[in-house]
Structures are given as C-alpha cells and as structure tokens.
C-alpha cells in the first residue's frame, strides 16, 4: 500500500477532496476488496494482525500458500521436490539442473503439479520411487491444446516438457556403471515430448522391482519410444532385465508426423514381465506411421493383459527372436485396431525361434481385418476369428483357431488350422501342441469326429504329469464314453455310456453291476462299490462275493418271515405286521454272510418279532437259540462272530 501522508488541518472543500483522492489511490495500489481491477481480491482484511482471510487454495507455482494447505500440495511434506532445488515448474523456465539435483537424492521423490521444462536427461538410480500428482490427459486433449497443458497442470497434472532444444537420449533414464538397476518406480506423471526426438523413460538392465504405472507419453518423436528397456553394455554378466510391472500407461507418436519408425513401447531381453492395460498407439488414426505399438525382442515369460495397439502401417505387436529364443509370451484380451499389416507379427530366425506365444481372446476392432503373420514360430496359438492370417514356410506345430479355414494361409509343416464350423467334420483331424516351458503342464490336443477323438495333457519333457482323455465308442464293447488315463501307470477314470463311472488301477477288473469302483489292485485287495440300489460295499478283488457294506438304506418288511441276506449287511430290518413274525439267520452253506457283519432288527408293528437261527447255527446271548423282541418300537442287533456263529443283544426276551 502506498503510504498516505498529510500535514496540517484542511478546512476548505478543495483541500479535503484532494486528501480523499490520495486515500483512494493508496487503497487501489494495495488491493480491491470488491473484486475490482487492478488488484482484485474478494477477501476480508484484518489489518490489526496483518492476516489475509479467505485466501484460496493455491493453483499456480507463484500462488501464496496457507499453512493448512502445505500437506495437500506436497502430498507429504517430508519428500523432496524439484522446488527444493530451485525448480519453477511454469513450462518456460529451464528446470533441468533442479531436477537433476532432485533425482540424485533417491528414495521417495515427489513431483508436484506443474510444467517442468528440461533440455537434458535426468538420471535416476536404484532404490528410487518417483511419484507425481496425476498423469493428466492421454490421447484425449482439452480443446485448447497445447495451451491446455497449463490447465492440466493447474488441475493437478505433473508434466515433463521436452522440446526441440532437448539434447540427449531420454528424458528420464537409469543406468548403473557396472551393475543392474533395482527397485525403481515411476508413477502419475505425464511426458509431453513434442519437438524432441528422445525416449521418455529408458532403463538399462532393470533387474527386480521395476514399476512404471499411470503415465501418459504424448507426442513422441519419430525415433523415440515411450518406454525403452534394454540391457547394460557396461554390465559384463548379461543383458537381461526382469521382474517388471508396467500398467495403465498410454503412449503415442506425434500427430504432426507420419515418419515414426521406433516402437511406441520397446522391450529387449526382458523376462518375468507383466504389462497391464497399456494403450500403445503407433500414431493417430489420420496419420499412421510405419512403426509397431509394442515390440518384444528376445523376451521370455511375458504377460500382456487387456492392452490395446492401434494406428500403424505395420503390425500392432512385434515379437522377435534375434540372439536367443523368445518364449512363454501370453497376450490376453488384446485389442487390435487399424494396423495395416496385421495385429501380431511373430518372427524368429533359423537359429532362434519364437515359441509358446499365445494370443488369447483377442478383439479386432474395425477396420482391422488381418490378424497374425508368423515365421520361425513353433508351438504357438493364434486366434484369427473371421479374418486372415499367415503361417510362414518355417513355422511348425502351431495352432490357429478361426471361423473359416480358407482365410488362413499355412505354408509351414505340422500346423493345425481349426475352424469352429468344421471341427466336427469326420475327415478333419486337428493335432495341436500347446507346449509351455519345461516341467509346466500344457495340453496337446488331438480330435476327430469318428471313433477315437482324444485329448492329451503332457509336460514339456513328455514324462511328468502325463494324462489322456479319450472318447472311444469301440473300447469296452462300445461301453466307454469318456476316459482320463495316466499314460505311465495306466490308471483310468472312465465314464461309460451306460452311466457308470469307474476309477481303476492298471490291472483293475471289471464288474458289470458296479456303478462306482475305486480300485487299487496292486496294493490293498479291497475296492469300493456302489450297487444299483445305492448300497456301498467294500469288496475283495479276489472274491467278489466277499464284501462289507455300510449303508443307511432300511429294509422294510410287512410279511411274517424274513431271512437275513447279503444285502442286509449294515442295514436295519423293520418288521411291520400286526401278526407274529420271524427274522431268521440261515446256515453259511445257504447264505455266507461275512464275519463281523451287523444287522439290526426293529419291531415296528404290533405283532411280536421272533429272532431265530437255522439248524447248525449257534446264537449266543439267549437260551435255546432264539428269542423275541420285548416290545413294539424296540429292537435287537445280530453280530456274526465266526462261521455259523452269531451273537444277539438288545431289548429281547428269551424263548423257552
């Protein structure tokens, strides 16, 4: 506020008006409380304590800050920021030196909202986590782009700007002079690369704990990738990068050029890597360049989940093998759009093939009409859908699933092209090897619609964990409907056309009356059987008449006589008759019930139930070999203890 000075007493109207004008000028030089220019601010002033009340949340790097907002602005005030080293973040000032000093600190590094212009690479080291506030917009830009970058920063985006004056290989890079980079994370940042020709993020031999997530890479140069991961020539051990997670990133080359030749995302000799929800655009729809969206060279053990590639004059994804075999690569739910030469290119060499590449449940968005192109590929699986695809002359043992076989060109050997519409054709046999890495289970599929279609599951070494399923109408006299067999031991699980389910060992014997058999004939001589009535037995293999049963199925009798039979083992016999009735035990020569069999008898009716044994049979526990049940709704239990020897106990009365 301009200082207001006065002297003497003003007694005339003119003098008083002059003093009032001085006061008004002084106020205008300070601020306007009602929002008028030039220094508008709708705020209350407490001139006694010199505080400004109702100060808004700071939106710009030069905005005044209330103490209560400090934590909200920094995310956590204990983390270093580029501002601690002199960065301005206005998109005009060169913040390179400040960011270089900030990056050298390591640990948790916070990048507040702002526009950070850099003209040289920023080097990061192991054990570092860099996090911003937001990645801002991706392929969708605000209407006033590029002016909207400032708006994005005001809204909360942390933006790195690399323009035509940038000199270097990458905006952010990490490299150790003698070893690998470990535990390095980047998240919630936007890279605006228009005018430059450098990579956004490059890591030399990231080894264990590499994470890049929630980052937008916009307007990449013709020779630039959003993310480039490769080996370290200064590390004499190897060039392998591993244990990597990349998720929810977007990368796209410049809208003002069709000359891009470098993949949007470029990975070399990476393994144990997962890429989730990445949008890899070679360029814009109206300006497709000749580059790939994603390139995987000499990579192993890679999973792409829910990614999309689009707008290329080449293929969307390029998988190659140049110095070692590329294998174990799974693409799940990938969206392919507007890629002129196809969705997926798989290219090995005579020395190093691409193997075990699986393209699962792809989505082809119009105008995509060409799918895969594979050469020197083996053991791969492609899904062409309704579109075209090509297997080269040096590709073998691959599976192609399609709607029409005529759409797939197979110039290789021992490949199987399977049409959904023709899979049941009696003349069509498809034989597919879906091999995983060694010692991992993978299916090998054989099928045809005649008498012997079957499916085999075998390990990569063809020895361990090998099983086979088969549908064979002729096996077992036309009785076999389904079989799961261990091909080394011969143990089988069979679902027969008659409705039987049988689990048997290698030498298990059949039983025409058996619904379920659990058989280990090489060891325990007993097996389990369920009969047509639902009774459960333990049956001796050597003697099918020697069995034991444990069942809760009642044997209800309304007659006056019941002889205990083999089917009554473990059962309860209910005698329901108003007249006197008898339950008898036969001699072993007539009915040989196994020793230790228990049979319970209940008198349910009013007629007295007598328990007796045949001549030649001993019944212990009563006098004269017989007894009666004492009262209605009570009972007794027979137990066979030896040949022709039984014991009875319960609520009984001796019969004289």
Least-confidence region, from 48-57, 120-129, 594-603, 617-626: 48-57
Residues 321 and 393 in one domain: yes
Range of lowest pLDDT (118-132, 199-213, 313-327, 479-493): 479-493
- Note whether residue 3 is domain-resident: no
For residue 125, being part of any structural domain is answered with yes
Q: Which domain holds residue 166?
A: 111-431
569 falls within a domain: yes
Regarding whether 544 and 586 lie in a shared domain, the answer is no
Same domain, 115 and 249: yes
Q: Does residue 613 sit in the same domain as residue 531?
A: no
Q: Is 611 exposed, middle or buried (0-12, 13-18, 19+ CB in 10 A)?
A: buried
The answer on 528 and 579 residing in a single domain is no
Q: How many domains does the chain have?
A: 4
Shared-domain flag, residues 323 and 390: yes
Q: What percentage of the chain has pLDDT greater than the value 90?
A: 56
> Strand pairing of 227-230 and 265-268?
parallel
Q: Which residues contact 384 (CB under 8 A, 6 or more apart)?
A: 371, 372, 400, 401, 402, 403, 407, 408
Q: Which residue has the higher pLDDT, 308 or 256?
A: 308
Structure-token match 């054990």, residue found: 127
User: Contact at 8 Å (CB) between 460 and 439?
Assistant: yes
Note whether 198 and 299 are same-domain residues.
yes
For position 288, which CATH number holds?
2.160.20
Q: Do both 515 and 581 map to the same domain?
A: no
User: Which of 367, 276, 265, 248 lies closest to 319 in space, CA to CA?
Assistant: 265
Structure confidence by residue, pLDDT tens digits, 431-457: 443 333 333 333 434 333 334 444 444
**Domain presence at residue 96:** no
pLDDT confidence of 25, banded at 50, 70, 90?
confident
CATH number for the domain that contains residue 622: 2.60.120.640
Give Cα separations from 494 to 90, 180, 390, 510, 528 (angstroms): 74, 54, 40, 11, 15
Question: What single-letter DSSP state applies at residue 473?
Answer: T
28 pLDDT more than 90? no
Higher pLDDT, 8 or 304: 304
pLDDT score for 428 = 42
Is residue 169 assigned to a domain? yes
Write down which residue in 503, 530, 549 finishes a domain. Answer: 549
Does 612 map to a domain?
yes
For the cut 80, the answer to whether the pLDDT of residue 60 exceeds it is no
- pTM beyond 0.85: no
Please indicate, yes or no, whether residues 186 and 228 belong to a single structural domain of this protein.
yes
* Strand 51-52 relative to strand 294-297, pairing: unpaired
Rg over CA atoms, the chain:
42
510 has a pLDDT exceeding 90: no
Specify the pLDDT at position 13.
85
Question: Which tokens sit at 90?
Answer: 């206005």
User: What is the average pLDDT score of the chain?
Assistant: 81
Nearest CA-CA partner of 61 in 81, 31, 39:
81
pLDDT band at 7 (very low <50, low <70, confident <90, very high): confident
Mapped onto helix, strand or coil, the DSSP state of residue 149 is helix
Do residue 416 and residue 305 come from a single domain? yes
In terms of domains, do 183 and 212 share one?
yes
Q: Are residue 310 and residue 341 in the same domain, yes or no?
A: yes
Helix (H, G, I), strand (E, B) or coil at 488: coil
CA of residue 18 relative to chain centroid, distance: 80
- Confidence (pLDDT) at 322: 96
Q: How far apart are the first and last CA of the chain?
A: 130
pLDDT class of 194 with cuts at 50, 70, 90: confident
Amino acid 11: pLDDT: 77
CA gap 312, 292 in Å, rounded = 7
Percent helix, strand and coil across the chain, each rounded to 5? 10, 45, 50
Name the band, by pLDDT with cuts 50, 70 and 90, for residue 503.
low
pLDDT at 260 over 90: yes
């Amino acid at each position: 506020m301009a200082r207001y000075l006065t002297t003497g007493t003003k007694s005339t109207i003119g003098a008083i008006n002059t003093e009032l004008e001085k006061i008004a000028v002084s106020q205008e030089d300070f601020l306007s409380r009602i929002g008028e220019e030039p220094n508008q601010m709708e705020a209350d002033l407490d001139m006694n304590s010199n505080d400004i009340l109702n100060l808004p949340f700071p939106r710009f790097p030069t905005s005044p800050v209330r103490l209560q907002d400090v934590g909200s602005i920094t995310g956590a005030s204990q983390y270093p920021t580029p501002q601690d080293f002199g960065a301005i973040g206005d998109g005009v000032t060169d913040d390179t030196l400040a960011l270089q000093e900030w990056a050298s600190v390591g640990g948790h590094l916070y990048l507040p909202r702002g526009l950070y212009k850099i003209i040289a690479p920023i080097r990061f080291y192991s054990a570092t986590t860099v996090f911003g506030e937001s990645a801002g917009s991706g392929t969708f830009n605000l209407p006033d782009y590029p002016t909207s970058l400032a708006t994005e920063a005001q809204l909360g985006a942390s933006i790195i700007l690399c323009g035509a004056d940038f000199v270097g290989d990458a905006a952010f890079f990490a490299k150790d002079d003698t070893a690998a980079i470990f535990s390095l994370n980047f998240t919630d940042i936007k890279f605006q690369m228009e005018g430059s020709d450098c990579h956004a993020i490059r890591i030399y031999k990231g080894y264990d704990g590499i994470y890049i997530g929630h980052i937008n890479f916009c307007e990449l140069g013709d020779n630039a990738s959003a993310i480039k991961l490769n080996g370290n020539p200064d590390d004499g051990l190897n060039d392998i990068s591993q244990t990597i997670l990349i998720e929810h990133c977007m990368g796209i080359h410049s809208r003002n050029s069709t000359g891009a030749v470098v993949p949007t995302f470029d990975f070399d000799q990476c393994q144990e890597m997962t890429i989730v929800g990445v949008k890899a655009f070679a360029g814009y729809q109206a300006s497709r360049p000749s580059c790939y969206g994603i390139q995987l060279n000499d990579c192993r053990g890679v999973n792409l989940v829910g990614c999309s590639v689009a707008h290329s004059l080449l293929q969307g994804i390029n998988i190659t093998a140049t110095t070692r075999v590329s294998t174990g690569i799974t693409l799940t739910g990938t969206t392919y759009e507007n890629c002129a030469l196809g969705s997926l290119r798989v290219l090995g060499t005579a020395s190093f093939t691409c193997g075990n590449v699986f393209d699962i449940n792809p989505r082809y968005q119009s105008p995509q009409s060409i799918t895969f192109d594979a050469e020197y590929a083996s053991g791969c699986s492609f899904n062409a859908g309704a579109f075209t695809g090509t297997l080269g002359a040096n590709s073998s043992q691959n599976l192609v699933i399609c709607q029409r076989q005529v759409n797939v060109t197979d110039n290789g050997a021992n490949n199987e092209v399977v049409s959904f519409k023709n899979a049941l054709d009696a003349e069509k046999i498809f034989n597919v090897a879906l091999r995983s890495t060694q010692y991992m289970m993978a299916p090998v599929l054989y099928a045809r619609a005649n008498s012997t279609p079957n499916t085999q599951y075998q390990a990569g070494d063809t020895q361990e964990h090998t099983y086979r399923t088969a549908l064979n109408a002729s096996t077992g006299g036309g009785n076999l409907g389904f079989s799961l067999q261990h091909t080394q031991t011969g143990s089988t699980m069979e679902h027969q056309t008659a409705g039987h389910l049988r689990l048997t060992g290698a030498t298990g014997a059949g039983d025409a009356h058996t619904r379920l058999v659990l058989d280990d004939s090489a060891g325990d001589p007993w097996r389990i059987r369920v009969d047509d009535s639902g009774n459960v037995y333990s049956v001796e293999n050597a003697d099918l008449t020697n069995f034991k049963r444990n069942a809760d199925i009642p044997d209800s009798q309304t007659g006056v006589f019941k002889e205990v039979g083999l089917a009554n083992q473990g059962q309860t016999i209910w005698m329901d008759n108003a007249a006197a009735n008898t339950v008898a035990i036969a001699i072993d020569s007539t009915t040989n019930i196994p020793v230790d069999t228990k049979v319970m008898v209940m008198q349910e009716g009013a007629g007295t139930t007598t328990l007796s044994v045949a001549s030649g049979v001993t019944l212990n526990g009563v006098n004269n070999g017989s007894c009666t049940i004492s009262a209605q709704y009570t009972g007794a239990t027979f137990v066979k203890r030896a040949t022709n020897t039984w014991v009875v106990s319960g609520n009984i009365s001796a019969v004289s």
